[in-house]
Chains A and B, each alone.
Chain A
Amino acid sequence: MTLPDLSPLWLTLQLAAVTAVVLLILGTPLAWWLSQTRSRVKPVVEAITALPLVLPPTVLGFYLLIIMSPRSPIGAFWVDVTGNTLTFSFTGLVIASALYSLPFTVQPLQAAFEGLGRAPFELAATLRAGALDRFFSITVPMAGRGFLTAAVLTFAHTVGEFGVVLMVGGNIPGQTKVISIAIYEQVETINYADAHVLSAIMLGFAFVVLLFVYTLNRRYPIRVG
């Protein structure tokens, strides 16, 4: 038995990792704002953030395809600046994945931030800690479990993505051909042997990652309180 081409697997891991990093950087301020604000637009922002949970991935993918196409202003601007199109590129996939997995970053973080309450921040403020200082010295360590959950869920959810990639990424080996697409392709061409191998790898990988995280979480519980 020969192994199938494993490059879709590496591409998937790369995409999931980059997406998780990008989303943690962008999603943290958003989650923080949502957890603290008393603004009237909060429900609006929350609803928009949660849209990817409800929308069929094809709908999200369709709109992204339109927005990122070289004929749209954003897509055209990207071509002007970089010389490449956003659609059917790795960068395009990262953008699409980030939108698709946004709620999986923002919601656990928001819940973790809200769970801390105001008390520790008020106390830190009376100890002369400014807002940014408070965020890094109190929020980040105290909401550690929330960050772990957000990172794992975002990573895992991106690994499992299919519809959005199919719409905006297509099936370019090494660029946009992630593992879910590769498996789909093998099944379509009735190459069940390779589909089996890739699927088994995914199953094992997903289980091992989650097992690792839950074991770590149990052995080194993050202390809060």
Chain B
Amino acid sequence: MLDVDITHGFGGFDLAVKHRFAAGGITAGFGRSGSGKSTLLRIIAGLEPGAKGHVALDGMLWQDAVSFVKPEARGVGMVFQDARLFGHLTVAGNLEYAAKRAAGLGGPQVVAIARDFDLLPLMDRRPQGLSGGERQRVALARALLSVPRVLLLDEPLAALDDTRKAEILPYLERLRDSKDMPILYVSHSMAEVARIATDIVVMQAGRVLRSGTVEDVLSDPAAVPDLGVRDAGAVLRARVVAHHADGLTELAVSQGVFLLPRFAAAIGAVVRVRIPAQDVILSLHRPVGISALNILPVVIASVFQGDGPGAAIGLVSGEDRLLARVTRRSADAMGLTEGLACYAVVKSVAVAQGDVGLAR
């Protein structure tokens, strides 16, 4: 359990965060650049000695009004957007740098971690000769070799293109599911957050706007203005049933089936699928003669009308939750109110490959 109650003022910006981070899983710090999420990570790492307040991990006090534990004594594994590998050392040298300083802490072997992150062929290379994705893998492996008590990831994928991102995400998913330590993952990409995070802290201008599990926050219509209308969309949990010859993968959800463009996953695997709210259409009757493949019976759980022309509609379909974004005009014309039963229509191709991830 990572406990933070901190204020920090610098250069006209002030940050005030009070939050208790989950002991396991990945907590995403989501917000635009300048929202203070990276600074929050630096404060937790002990890299901002000017910050005031209280930081403690599992009852271990790291900082309060009278004490301050230096970063080297905290045991935080940190990965930055720009990897920050040591240029004067090889890949092996970078890994050993961490392992040597964590000797006696019962950490993993360099070779074992290098194998996990597929770094064995790269061991003698210099960081300058590595691709962005390879560098981030080295940075992650190095952070783990320091036997951290908490892992702080500051936009680790932001500098990578989609192919490289897809290369790293499985490592992060494995980390989330195998490690029993808080992992804080700062990002401005909702697709990444929805894919790997278990909890989310939404930040803006140095404040926490809302927090909770990814499923709760992303399916809450009232959260749409905080997340941004383009990024709004609930996360659906589904089980892979079959891969069809026509290029579609069939998923079972609690009240029906869902068809998506084919993606790689074992039959029976549980996946998380982000359904963008603006791609969900609502219909009062089960539509017929329509090209969209996915039609789920839903009940309206809540309606949130913002300032603009749109309204966010929270939907429940059995155990699943969805979020739809429609115009206020449609909402009024259709009489969309809490408790109304209707149908949610989602085009298969509206869901991008990057929106599907393995569930914890």
Contacts and interface: CB of A to CB of B under 8 A. Distances in A.
Interface of A: 119-120, 122-131, 133, 137-138, 141-142, 144, 222-225
B101 A223 contact: no
Contacts of A131: 72
Contact of B87 (A133, A137, A142): A142
Given A120-B84, A223-B88, A223-B128, A127 B70 contact: no
Contacts of A128: 72-73, 75, 98, 101-102, 146
Interface in B109-140: 126, 128
B71 A225 contact: no
Contact of A122 (B71, B88, B142): B71
B77 interface: yes
Interface in B72-104: 72-78, 80, 82, 84, 86-88, 97-98, 101-102
B88 A126 contact: no
A222 B87 CA distance: 10
Contacts of B152: 126
Contacts of B101: 127-129, 133
B326 interface: no
Given A224-B87, A225-B87, A123 B128 contact: no
Contacts of A223: 87-88, 126, 128
A125 B72 contact: yes
Nearest to B70: A125
A125 B47 contact: yes
B71 A126 contact: yes
Contacts of B88: 141-142, 144, 222-224
B45 interface: yes
Contact of A127 (B126, B128, B146): B146
Instruction: Identify which of A122, A124, A127 gathers the most chain B CB atoms within 10 Å of its CB.
Output: A127
Contacts of B75: 128
Interface residues on B, range: 20 to 34
Nearest to A126: B78
A154 to B, nearest CB: 23
A126 B86 contact: no
A120 B45 CA distance: 14
Nearest to B84: A123
A29 B30 CA distance: 41
Interface string B236-258: 00000000000000000000000
A72 to B, nearest CB: 43
Nearest to B45: A126
A123 B126 CA distance: 18
A137 B72 contact: no
Interface in B206-230: none
Among A125, A133, A141, A225, max chain B CB count under 10 A is at A125
A130 B72 contact: yes
Contacts of B146: 126-128
B210 to A, nearest CB: 29
Given A122-B47, A122-B71, A127 B97 contact: yes
Contacts of B86: 120, 123-124, 138, 142
B152 to A, nearest CB: 8
Contacts of A123: 78, 80, 84, 86
Contacts of A120: 84, 86
Contacts of A138: 86
Contacts of B72: 125-131
Closest 6 CB pairs of A and B: A125-B71, A128-B101, A126-B78, A225-B87, A141-B88, A123-B84
Give the one of B46, B86, B143, B146 with max A CB within 10 A. Answer: B86
B270 to A, nearest CB: 34
Interface in B38-90: 45-47, 70-78, 80, 82, 84, 86-88
Interface string B126-164: 101000000000000011001000001000000000000
A130 B72 CA distance: 6
Given A123-B78, A123-B84, A138-B86, 4 more contacts: A127-B102, A130-B70, A131-B72, A142-B87
Nearest to A134: B72
Contacts of B76: 126
Contacts of A126: 45, 47, 71-72, 74, 76-78, 143, 146, 152
Nearest to B83: A123
Contacts of A137: 97
Contacts of A119: 80, 82, 84
Nearest to A125: B71
Contacts of B77: 126
Given A120-B84, A128-B75, A138-B86, A225 B128 contact: yes
A31 B70 CA distance: 23
Contacts of B97: 124, 127, 129, 137
A122 B42 CA distance: 10
Nearest to B94: A127
Contacts of A133: 101
B325 to A, nearest CB: 40
A167 to B, nearest CB: 43
Nearest to B142: A127
Contacts of B102: 127-128
Nearest to B127: A225
A124 B102 CA distance: 12
